[in-house]
Amino acid sequence: MKFCIIMGSPRLHGNTAELCKPFIDELKKNGAEVKYITLADKNINSCKACYACQDIEGEYGCVQKDDMYAIVDEIIKSDCIVLASPIYSWYCPAEMKALLDRHYGLNKYYGSATGSLWEGKSVALLLTHGYDRDYATEPFVTGIKRLCTHSNLSYIGMYSVQDEDNLASFQTEEAVNGAREFARSLINEMNKE
Ligand SMILES: Cc1cc2nc3c(=O)[nH]c(=O)nc-3n(C[C@H](O)[C@H](O)[C@H](O)COP(=O)(O)O)c2cc1C
């Protein structure tokens, strides 16, 4: 079982990265293969809305030959994609938003090409936020659930921790155990599918 963790914070060693540590450790302990990808050190341009990818059959087909291609390869090889992200302005940082918009070439809905390069894969969220969980995360969770429905992906859950004291908030027993439990729950969920 292969997990692709895509970490979207501009802080490579910030809160979200800290929460990823026990989560990834637990996935590995339970036999999963894990690819951890950070976005802040990659070059991912915004989608130019040219729709060229919609006429390219069987491959991603984006005209922008940037780091998105290597990430798409990892997504295609994975069973589960975990979007690990802080909430910024009720959604996500620009790095993660660029990646989300660049999903276009994975779905062939709007041109001569047909099919999907990723349908059936599972998606989960690992989030950090400053405000209370529901108030902070609801818009992003709703958006990702809708993207999953739109793309025939299976949304399998979310775990989040509130930033009350920067890194220390993500090192508490509760946060760490919660991340580990979430990892095990995703593996169980994937085994059912
Ligand atoms: C530009 C910016 C915007 C933010 N917007 C929100 C927000 O809308 N809602 C929220 O709950 N927290 C918000 N936060 C707080 C972060 O989500 C929180 O501190 C998070 O743990 C940061 O994770 P990181 O260190 O991985 O970037 C924001 C932080 C920044 C820097």
Task: Give the whole-number percent of the chain exceeding pLDDT 90.
Answer: 99
Which residues does ligand 1 sit against, CB inside 6 Å? Answer: 9, 11, 14-16, 86-90, 128-131, 136, 163
Ligand 1 pocket mutation pick from 13, 16, 88, 160 by most atoms within 8 angstroms of CB: 88
What strands, in cross-sheet order, belong to the sheet with 2-7?
A: 33-38, 2-7, 80-86, 122-129, 154-162
Average pLDDT in the chain: 98
Give the three-state DSSP class for 177. Answer: helix
Given a cut of 80, is residue 193 above it in pLDDT?
A: no
Over the Cα atoms of the chain, what is R_g? 16
Please state the atom number of ligand 1 nearest to the C-alpha of residue 17: 26
Taking a C-beta distance cutoff of 8 angstroms, is the pair 14, 86 a contact? yes
SS3 content of the chain, % helix, strand, coil (to 5): 45, 20, 35
Average pLDDT over residues 82-94: 98
pTM score: 0.98
134 CA distance to ligand 1 middle (Å): 14
Interhelix angle 15-29/173-192, nearest 10 degrees: 50
Domains of the chain: 2-192 (3.40.50.360)
pLDDT at position 185 is 98
98 CA distance to ligand 1 middle (Å): 17
pLDDT tens, position by position, 103-145: 999 999 999 999 999 999 999 999 999 999 999 999 999 999 9
Residue having the nearest C-alpha atom to atom 2 of ligand 1: 88
Average pLDDT over residues 26-34: 98
Please state the atom number of ligand 1 nearest to the C-alpha of residue 161: 21
Average pLDDT over residues 73-81: 98
129 CA distance to ligand 1 middle (Å): 5
16 CA distance to ligand 1 middle (Å): 10
pLDDT tens, position by position, 44-54: 999 999 999 99
164 CA distance to ligand 1 middle (Å): 11
Average pLDDT over residues 84-100: 98
